[in-house]
Amino acid sequence: MRKTLTLSLADPVFIPGEQYSAFDRFWLNKIRDERDLPFIYLTLRITFTLLPVAVLLYMPFIVGWVWWLMAGVYFILNNFVFKGPFGLMLHCTSHRPFFREEYRWLNKYLPWVIGPFFGQTPETYASHHLAMHHRENNLEEDLSSTMHYQRDSFRHFMLYFTRFFFMVIITLAHYFDKRSQATLRNKVIRGELLFIVGCVLLCFVNWQATFMVFLLPLLISRFIMMLGNWAQHSFVDESDPGNFYKNSITCINTKYNHKCWNDGYHISHHIKPNLHWTLHPEHLQNNLQAYMDNQALIFEGIHFLHIWWFLMTKNYSKLAKHVVNVDGVLGTEADIINLMKRRTRKIEQTIYTVVES
């Protein structure tokens, strides 16, 4: 457990004044925010590495051990090199459109062309995350709410994931239908059906390649997304579940934030969903008193996967050692453990309150 009066942050921020190449300037004329230039390079790396390997898996002359070698390369690139950075790039560009208005058609490239290779069915992610999850804020109407589960139970997590995996499209379409948001409902249904039909047709070409390229990434992505959301919203104050500071967490000074665009700053993301990813460290520093007043949980040196694992193993002592105890407001290590245990308890009834930014 660390006590401190101020936070020393080493997570990525934008540093202006860099010298841009002619190639950089070409893309800067097309994107809305120069701070998102790294997204161009990530998109190009995926386009010219992962996608060609996926195509090769369908080629009839790639057989035997060569096919399995290519399949292994694809699996590693997809899940260990690009999945996290791409998923959080998709997250950032869903909140803040990537390309300028005159090039808005390019905004379809990530969700419609690259997304399916990572198991992201077109339109589903943005519709679920922006139009449902942020609106409902992990409360009763949130289809991915963690409140009614014991958040340190693996059995409860698997129930949570299974419900999401098999029911998300039906429940999401119904959610938008109830709110007379036919456009969003139809986007979700259209994207999901096109993905399914595309996979069925490709199975007639090569079912093994279709499983490796599209279906396995779908299973893994939805598991990882639910794992992440579970960790982000594992610690919920029963008496104030709509309070952003008390139903979300923040992870600082971790390599994950450098690889995945400061995704660890989940409290500030819910407070200001459109805040640029480079500004989250500054927002934390500027609002540190609010974090202290609300006994917000800030973890240092670990990220959501670690937090999920420590919860599944009920290793609260390990979690407590990574909590940043700003000015000692959280008390002793025992107090911190008790606080975390209270906030992981299954919630039967809720009181709707929202903290304004």
Task: State mean pLDDT over 9-35.
Answer: 93
User: Is 259 within a domain?
Assistant: yes
Q: Residue 354: which pLDDT band, with cuts at 50, 70 and 90?
A: very low
User: Is 295 within a domain?
Assistant: yes
Say what the pLDDT of residue 355 is: 46
User: Is 213 within a domain?
Assistant: no
User: Is 262 within a domain?
Assistant: yes
User: Is 299 within a domain?
Assistant: yes
User: Is 130 within a domain?
Assistant: no
* pTM of the entire predicted model: 0.94
Task: Say whether pLDDT at 119 is over 80.
Answer: yes
The three state secondary structure string of the chain is CEEECCCCCCCCCCCCCCCCCHHHHHHHCCECCHHHHHHHHHHHHHHHHHHHHHHHHHCCCCCHHHHHHHHHHHHHHHHHHHHHHHHHHHHHHHHCCCECHHHHHHHHHHHHHHHHHHCCCCCHHHHHHHHHHHHHCCCCCCCCCCCCCCCCCHHHHHHHHHHHHHHHHHHHHHHHHHCCCHHHHHHHHHHHHHHHHHHHHHHHHHHHHHHHHHHHHHHHHHHHHHHHHHHHCCCCCCCCCCCHHHHCEEEECCHHHHHCCCCCEHHHHHHCCCCCHHHHHHHHHHCHHHHHHCCCEEEECCCHHHHHHHHHCCCHHHHHHCEEEECCCCCCHHHHHHHHHHHCCCCCCCCCCCCCC
**Could you report the per-residue pLDDT of 203-215, keeping only the tens digit for each?**
999 999 999 999 9
Q: For the chain, what is the domain count?
A: 1
Task: State mean pLDDT over 273-280.
Answer: 98
Query: Which domain covers residue 320, as residue numbers?
Result: 2-9+237-343
